[in-house]
Amino acid sequence: MNELWFVVILFLSSTGAGLLGALSGLGGGVVIVPLLTIAFHVDIHYAIGASLVSVIATSSGAAAAYVREGFSNIRVGMFLEIATTLGALVGAWLTTKVPTQAIGVVFGLVLLYSAYASLKQKHAEMTEKPDPLALRLLLKGDVPADDGLHHYVAQRVPLGFGLMWMAGALSGLLGIGSGAVKVIAMDQAMRLPFKVSTTTSNFMIGVTAAASAGLYWRSGYMAPSLVMPVMLGVLAGSLIGSRLLVKAEVRTLKIVFALVIVALGIEMIVHSATGMGA
Amino acid sequence: MTWNDKRIETWVGVMLRTGVMLAAAVVLAGGALYLAQNHGPRPDYEHFHGEPAHLMSLRGIGHGVATGDPRSIIMLGLLLLIATPVGRVVMCVVGFLFERDRLYVAVSSLVLVILLYSLFFHK
pLDDT, residue B79, reads 95
**Residue A246 pLDDT more than 70?**
no
Q: Inspect the interface and report whether the beta carbons of A225 and B10 lie closer than 8 Å.
A: no
**Residue A206 pLDDT more than 80?**
yes
Q: Inspect the interface and report whether the beta carbons of A213 and B14 lie closer than 8 Å.
A: no
Which residue segment(s) compose the domain that B103 sits in? Answer: 5-120
Q: What share of chain B is helix, strand, coil (3-state, %, to 5)?
A: 75, 0, 25
Mean pLDDT of A198-205: 87
Distance from CA of B101 to the nearest CA of A (A): 10
CB atoms within 10 A of CB A269: 18
Nearest by CB to B17, which of A63, A70, A211? A63
Distance from CA of B53 to the nearest CA of A (A): 8
Q: Which of A6, A72, A225 to mutate to test the interface with B (most CBs of B within 10 A)?
A: A225
Q: How far apart are CA A56 and CA A246, in angstroms?
A: 22
SS3 assignment, position A154: coil
pLDDT tier at A278, thresholds 50, 70, 90: very low
* Interface predicted TM-score (ipTM) of this complex, two decimals: 0.90
pLDDT digit string (tens) for A5-25? Answer: 889 999 999 999 888 877 776
**Residue A149 pLDDT more than 90?**
no
**Residue A277 pLDDT more than 50?**
no
CA distances from A182 to A85, A201, B82, B86, B111 (A): 13, 6, 20, 19, 17
SS3 assignment, position A151: strand
- In chain B, the residue whose alpha carbon lies closest to the alpha carbon of A82 is B111
Phi/psi-derived region of residue B43, left when phi > 0, alpha when psi is between -120 and 50, beta in every other case: beta
When mean pLDDT is compared over A79-93, A170-184, B54-68, the highest value belongs to A79-93
Q: In 3D, which of A173, A167, A226 has the Cα closest to residue A6?
A: A226
Number of folded domains that form chain A: 1
pLDDT digit string (tens) for B93-123? Answer: 999 999 999 999 999 999 999 999 999 887 7
Mean pLDDT score across all residues of chain A: 86
pLDDT, residue B1, reads 44
pLDDT, residue A160, reads 92
Counts of helices then strands in chain A (DSSP H, E): 11, 2
Q: Inspect the interface and report whether the beta carbons of A56 and B79 lie closer than 8 Å.
A: no
Nearest by CB to B111, which of A64, A67, A82? A82
Q: How far apart are CA B66 and CA B8, in angstroms?
A: 36
Residues 6+ apart with CB under 8 A from A200: A71, A72, A73, A76, A77, A186, A192
Q: Inspect the interface and report whether the beta carbons of A89 and B14 lie closer than 8 Å.
A: no
Distance from CA of A232 to the nearest CA of B (A): 7
Q: Which of A207, A226, A230 to mutate to test the interface with B (most CBs of B within 10 A)?
A: A207
Q: Inspect the interface and report whether the beta carbons of A227 and B8 lie closer than 8 Å.
A: no
pLDDT, residue B8, reads 79
Nearest by CB to B104, which of A78, A88, A222? A78
- In chain A, the residue whose alpha carbon lies closest to the alpha carbon of B75 is A224
Q: Which residues of A touch B20 (CB under 8 A)?
A: 57, 60-61, 235
Which residue segment(s) compose the domain that A154 sits in? Answer: 3-277
SS3 assignment, position A139: coil
Residues 6+ apart with CB under 8 A from B6: A70
Phi/psi-derived region of residue A40, left when phi > 0, alpha when psi is between -120 and 50, beta in every other case: alpha
**Residue B14 pLDDT more than 80?**
yes
Q: Inspect the interface and report whether the beta carbons of B31 and A232 lie closer than 8 Å.
A: yes
How many beta-carbon contacts under 8 Å exist across A and B? 197
pLDDT, residue A216, reads 94
Nearest by CB to B41, which of A2, A212, A235? A2
Q: Inspect the interface and report whether the beta carbons of A61 and B104 lie closer than 8 Å.
A: no
Q: Inspect the interface and report whether the beta carbons of B85 and A224 lie closer than 8 Å.
A: no
Distance from CA of B15 to the nearest CA of A (A): 9
- Of the two residues A249 and B121, the one the predictor is more confident about is B121
pLDDT digit string (tens) for A71-126? Answer: 889 899 999 999 999 999 999 999 999 988 888 999 999 889 888 877 776 555 55
- Of the two residues A145 and A217, the one the predictor is more confident about is A217
The overall longest dimension of chain B from CA atoms, in Å, is 58
Number of folded domains that form chain B: 1
Distance from CA of B76 to the nearest CA of A (A): 10
Question: B97 exposed, middle or buried (CB, 10 Å; 0-12, 13-18, 19+)?
Answer: middle
pLDDT, residue B10, reads 82
Is there a contact between A150 and A193 (Cβ–Cβ < 8 Å)? yes
CA A83 remoteness from chain centre: 15
pLDDT over 90 percentage in chain A? 40
Sign of torsion over alpha carbons B20, B21, B24, B29: negative
Q: Inspect the interface and report whether the beta carbons of B42 and A224 lie closer than 8 Å.
A: no
